[in-house]
Structure 1
C-alpha cells in the first residue's frame, strides 16, 4: 500500500508566513500547439514560479550552510527507500527527548506526528506550532537518524529572534529535513519505507517533494 504524505500545491497557496505562493502559467497552450503539430495532435507546456519552500519540502545542508550538500549532492540513499519510524507527539508544542525514549532511530526516517497538518491552509497553522527542542535534535543527530520529518510549520520554534537550533544541528550532521508532511496518522509505528526525493537542482538547498510511504 502507498500512503500519500504531501500537501497538494495550488496557485496562491500559503505555506509559510511571508513566503509568496506559487504562480501557474503557460509556455505553450493547447490552442497554440495546434499551429506546431499535426491535425488532431495538441500539447500543453506549463510554467510554474514558486519559492523553493512551498508545500511539503526537503531541507538539505546547503539550506543552512554555504558549504553543505545541495539538492544535487545529497545522495539518493538519504532520501528514498528509507526504513520509516513514526513518533507520536500529538498535543505537544515543545517535543523533547522523552518523545524518543526507547526508540532505535539509526538509519531511519524519523517522522514526528503532531497532527498539526489538520490546520494546513488556515491561520492557525501559521503560529504556535509544534517543534523539536534542541536537545531532541542533538540526540537524533548523535543516534544517526537518516532523515527527520514533521507535519508542522517548522521543525524549529519560530520566535522573532530567528534562532533555528534543530536545523542547525541536524543539517550540520548531514541529516535532511522534511517539513509540512501530512497524513502521518495513516502510517503504522514502523515497518514501512519512506521516500521524499526532490529534483537534482544544483545550487539550491530546498525544494518541494512528493513524500510517500510504502507499507508492505
Structure 2
C-alpha cells in the first residue's frame, strides 16, 4: 500500500484566490506562559486545498456538514491532461481515452501539472479548465466529486462561474480545488479520501486529500 498526500500546506503566505485575504496563524498560548502551545486560525472557507459544496452557489442546496461521510471517500481516477497549455480546455476526449475506468470511478481528478506554479503569479493565470460537456458527463454519471490541481473549476476569467452553476444546480456533487501531486498517482483506480472540516452550514472547507494506492 502506498499513500500520497495531495494537500497543500496552509500558511500565512500561501496563494489564495484573488481578492481573498491570506490565512492568519496567531500564537494564542505559549509553552513559556501557558505550558502549552495553541494557535488561532483565521481563514476563508475556500482556502488552499479545499472542497466546494452545492451551497457555495445556491442558498437552498446541500452544505458539506449535511452530506454523509461516505460522500468524501471512494474510487478515484486521475486523468492526465498535463500536455495542455494556457487557455486550453479539458475536453471529453481525455475521458473517452480511459472511458471504462472513468465510468467506474466515483471521483475524477484532472492532472494539469498546474500545481508546479503554486506560489507564482502564473498559478492565477489562464489555467486549463473543463468544458461544459465534461460537466455534463460528471452529472449524468453521478460522480461523487471532481477535482483539479488549479485554483478553480471555472476559468479565472469566468466571473459567472458557469461550471459551478451547472454542477451544483441539481446534482449532489462536490468540487475539489488546489490539489497537489496528482502526477504521482498513475492511471489506475485508487481509493480517494477528501475529508472536509465539519462546521455548521459549510459552503466549503479545507480538506486533507489523500490517495491510497494498492501497490
| Structure label with greater radius of gyration | 1
Question: What does residue 96 of structure 1 align with?
Answer: 91
Residues of 2 paired with 1:9 and 1:148: CA distance? 21
Question: What does residue 84 of structure 1 align with?
Answer: 76
CA deviation map 1:4-57 (0-9, x unaligned): 101111113222111111011122211221xxxxxxxx2111101111111100
Q: 1:188 aligns with which of 186, 189, 200?
A: 186
- Counterpart check, 1:127 vs 2:125: yes
- Counterpart check, 1:105 vs 2:112: no
Q: CA deviation at 1:106?
A: 5.1
TM-score by length of 1: 0.90
Q: 1:166 aligns with which of 163, 168, 175?
A: 163
| Contact 1:106 1:146 survives alignment (8 Å) | no
Structure 2 unaligned segments of length 5 or more: list them: none
Aligned length: 206
Q: CA deviation at 1:162?
A: 1.0
Residues of 1 paired with 2:213 and 2:198: CA distance? 26
| Contact 1:62 1:70 survives alignment (8 Å) | yes
Higher helix residue share:
2
SS in structure 2 of the partner of residue 209 of structure 1? strand
TM-score by length of 2: 0.91
Q: CA deviation at 1:70?
A: 1.0
| Contact 1:85 1:105 survives alignment (8 Å) | no
Q: CA deviation at 1:183?
A: 0.2
Question: What does residue 20 of structure 1 align with?
Answer: 21
- Counterpart check, 1:197 vs 2:195: yes
Q: 2:43 aligns with which of 50, 53, 63?
A: 50
Question: What does residue 37 of structure 1 align with?
Answer: none
Residues of 1 paired with 2:14 and 2:186: CA distance? 30
CA deviation map 1:149-201 (0-9, x unaligned): 00112111122x51222211222311101001010011021231001111211
Residues of 2 paired with 1:31 and 1:141: CA distance? 54
Q: How does 1:129-144 map to 2 (within 5 A)?
A: 129-144=127-142
CA deviation map 1:117-150 (0-9, x unaligned): 1001100000111111111111111111121000
Residues of 2 paired with 1:196 and 1:175: CA distance? 13
